[in-house]
Amino acid sequence: MDLNLKFINLINIEKNNKKSFLSLKYFIDCCRDLEDLLIINGNSFFELKDLEKLINNPEESKVLIEKRNSLYTKGIELILENNKLVAVSDQIPKIIPWLSYYGAMFLTRVDVLKVKNFNKVINEPYLNVMVNNIGINLEKVDVNIQNNNTKTLELVGGSFAGLNKINIVKKYANIEGNDKLIMEIEWLKNLPQDLKGKFPIVLDYQITPEESWFSMPFYEFENLRKKIISGKFSISKTSYFIEKILNYLFEKIYINNLSIASSDWVEKKHFDRFYTRLEKIKNIQPFNEILLNKYIIINDKKYLNLKHLVDLLRCYQNKTKIFSPHNLVMIHGDLHFQNMLIDEENDDFILADPRGELNGSDIYYDFGKLWHSFNGLYDLIHTDISKTSVLFINQNESEFNLQLGNNDLLTNYKDIKSNIERLVLNYPIAKDTNFDLKIKFAEIMHFSSLMWFHLKYDQKENRALCLYLQAIRLADDLLKELGVSCE
């Protein structure tokens, strides 16, 4: 399809008391030759497949929408009749699910001309004016509707036995990540047949000492994190799928004992990893100064710096061996919300990016990953919702302000945490009197080792610094729970 499309980034905010319709109108008025127009909000992220839905069959203007399952998420409500957008409301929705604008639309040349000829000055968001005032008919395009497979005439054989064309993802690694990827490939290939349905399918692969890769189908399902943050999933629906996933893991995965843990398993798996990765960031600004401090102040509360806290945890572990596993079992290895792909239509899920522990691992390694999504709020940090600011840095201590998210999101994640904490009591690990301490320890060691992978080399390192500060707070809490002084 040969479409001559112009792209304009529009950010739906007030600037000099002008809202986005006036910005759009100014752009269109300046255009000499009117053409079909794709409008996207510059402060939003879009999958290419969703934008493609807008420009396919360009005879009609279209608007990208999504369903929301929470009354506490912001957005304008859309009113539809016969799959056409007929009104835009600024009122808070009273029923769920409700329809919200997803931030992109396609306008035909005819409708672009309607905007150009509209002479009233209305200081409102562009979607409101187009629908409520100009009366442009926009066909809905729902991002929630899955379209996993497509057919193409080029693939139809002489017998008219059409072939399906599927999107394929190729995952690869060079020398640095090669060993880990090889383990993942082998793990996925060697899964028993009755377990393969819940994990990515290896379509093809290549393993060499320098680099390796494998291909798998592209799963269009949204991950659980996105469902939560976008407001598409309620707390109860989130808890439903987490319970479904945990039921599967305990029934099919965790029952497989693979080996006996060595006496130094915790030292090698957790502490060696922490000290190695801390060394990697010691010359990266601002960590080059922060790591030299003895104390860190976060939101007016003073803590020992992270290395001192982990040293105390290590000393406690060496004395008590409380965190040492006996049996190493089959686990996923990276069990956080982003790796839980939700197939709502079939009430199912896919567990993406397994770590590939061929000899097994500690079950609490998985639960530490799970906990760091909703307890440590890795979800909000990784999506750059969390923000930190440096108040001061000197030789002995540094002070920071840390804001993890807005009140609605924090409340949602707090409710999810409460539900999962109750849920876990139904599983075999709850028979261990120290299970909650072991989960928290694994969560802390995960958090403490993440900074290296989230560096942006911008001398600010907001995301990596948020991870670092949250690791300090979590470690301090656990040490106090263990009765270890952090003075």
Domain chopping of the chain, boundaries: 6-142, 147-220, 221-481
pLDDT at 168: 82
pLDDT at 16: 52
Do the two domains 6-142 and 221-481 of this chain adopt the same fold?
no
pLDDT at 9 over 80: no
pLDDT at 59 over 90: no
pLDDT at 1 over 60: no
68, 98 contact by CB (below 8 A): yes
**pLDDT tens-digit map of 362-373:** 999 999 999 999
**pLDDT tens-digit map of 323-346:** 999 999 999 999 999 999 999 999
How far is it, in rounded angstroms, from Cα 223 to Cα 448?
24
The answer for residues whose C-beta is within 8 angstroms of residue 111's C-beta and 6 or more apart is 61, 130, 136
Could you tell me which of 476, 225, 177, 226 has the C-alpha nearest to residue 356? 177
Backbone angles phi, psi at 304, to 5 degrees: -65, 150
Q: Which two tokens stand for residue 31?
A: 């255009």
- Mean pLDDT of the region 394-410: 94
* Cα Rg of the chain, angstroms: 26
Could you tell me which of 350, 355, 374 has the C-alpha nearest to residue 365? 355
- Mean pLDDT of the region 228-241: 94
Give domain 221-481's CATH architecture: Alpha-Beta Complex (3.90)
pLDDT at 298: 97
pLDDT at 160: 36
Give domain 6-142's CATH architecture: Alpha-Beta Complex (3.90)
The answer for residues whose C-beta is within 8 angstroms of residue 31's C-beta and 6 or more apart is 6, 116
335, 406 contact by CB (below 8 A): no
At 186, is the pLDDT very low, low, confident or very high (cuts 50, 70, 90)?
Answer: very high
pLDDT at 400 over 90: yes
295, 302 contact by CB (below 8 A): yes
Question: In what helix (H) or strand (E) does residue 128 lie, and over which residues does it extend?
Answer: helix 126-128
Q: State whether the Cα torsion 450-201-50-85 is positive or negative.
A: negative
pLDDT at 158: 37
At 445, is the pLDDT very low, low, confident or very high (cuts 50, 70, 90)?
Answer: very high
pLDDT at 8: 42
334, 167 contact by CB (below 8 A): no
Cβ atoms < 10 Å from Cβ of 37 = 22
Task: Give the fold, CATH level 3, of 147-220.
Answer: Phosphorylase Kinase; domain 1 (3.30.200)
3-state secondary structure 420-461: HHHHHCCCHHHHCCCHHHHHHHHHHHHHHCCHHHHCCCCCCC
pLDDT at 65 over 50: yes
